[in-house]
Amino acid sequence: MKKIGILLLLVIIAFCACDTNSAILDEEEIRNIIYDISYDFSWNDINGIMEYVHNDFRHNGMYRDELRFLWNERRKRYQLLSCDISQIYIDNEYATVFMTMTYQSATETVSFSEPDTFGDASYYYFDQGRWQIYGNQEWRMNKN
């Protein structure tokens, strides 16, 4: 009976360790995606950004094609993007990234607190073995 109890305790510890490692790996993957997005933006590679966007993306009524247009418009106005992540909240297969996104051009620098300002790059979904930008899945922007 003692052996079964010890074995059960070891199994529970192993599962707890796996969950922690999984969360760390998930957070690292999301951080890498955001880094890649800022790199792709700075190199004017909108297709590279869109590779991280889920086919069912929807954010405040905006769909995937509209998101591509938005990134193109941002790129016309700014040449550089940097992202400073403050927190990643993971809840099973969903994640929310809290960060400051700073866009720069030769004449202006603007920073936005996400997901509070736009949030289109802040909501993720784990699907088909990888994290993807998913949007908040809202049909239209909530006005408070």
- Parse the chain into domains and list their residue ranges: 2-133
Residue with tokens 């969903």: 94
Q: Is the pTM of this model over 0.85?
A: no
Of the two residues 14 and 49, the one the predictor is more confident about is 49
Q: What are the angstrom distances between the C-alpha of 91 and each of 44, 50, 67, 131? A: 32, 23, 24, 13
Give residue 141's pLDDT.
62
The arithmetic mean of pLDDT across residues 117-122, rounded, is: 96
The arithmetic mean of pLDDT across residues 96-122, rounded, is: 97
CA distance 103 to 109: 6
Q: Right CATH number for 2-133 from 3.10.450.50, 3.40.50.1950, 1.10.3210.10, 3.10.20.30?
A: 3.10.450.50
The arithmetic mean of pLDDT across residues 26-46, rounded, is: 98
Rounded (10°) CA dihedral 62, 63, 65, 71: 50
